[in-house]
Amino acid sequence: MGKKLNKVYEALVSGAADGLTGKELYAHVVDECPKTSSKRIVKASLFALSDPDIKERGLLEAIYALAIDYRLSSLGVDEETQDADEENSPAPLVSQELRNRLESTVSIIPAIREDATLPEPSKGIH
């Protein structure tokens, strides 16, 4: 982890450990690291979530919520709109581009026929 990202990570974890959440936690991180970006905060959040030393549920929830909020805001998704969409609409459809990529990936995976014989395993391997 780079120096800047490490500093953001430390500010994030210390703020969450002090009981800060949401905008207060974000403000704490920005106060500690004024030149940071939402992208770097989200990245530091993901590192914190994967850190085996952080085991406290409240800490993990605060970091997780912050990562989601600022990831969505960087995409231009409004939190209130997102909540309303979740309540009133069915699951989103897979885009045609993603569908095409999935189909091309599946087409290169060799099909296994039921009548095909599998090669005998080597007797030298135990």
Its pTM stands at 0.58
33-36 long-range contacts (CB < 8 A, ≥24 apart) are 33/4, 33/7, 33/8, 35/4, 36/4, 36/8
User: How do residues 16-35 score in pLDDT, each as one tens digit?
Assistant: 999 998 889 999 999 999 99
As a 3-state breakdown, the chain gives helix, strand, coil percent values, each rounded to 5, of: 65, 0, 35
Place of tokens 């091309």: 104
Residue 33 CB-density burial (10 A; 0-12 exposed, 13-18 middle, 19+ buried) = buried
Residue-level pLDDT at 76: 75
- Tell me whether residue 13 is exposed, middle or buried, using C-beta atoms within 10 angstroms of its C-beta: 0 to 12, 13 to 18, 19 or more: buried
Is residue 71 predicted with pLDDT exceeding 60?
A: yes
pLDDT > 90 fraction of the chain, expressed in percent and rounded? 31
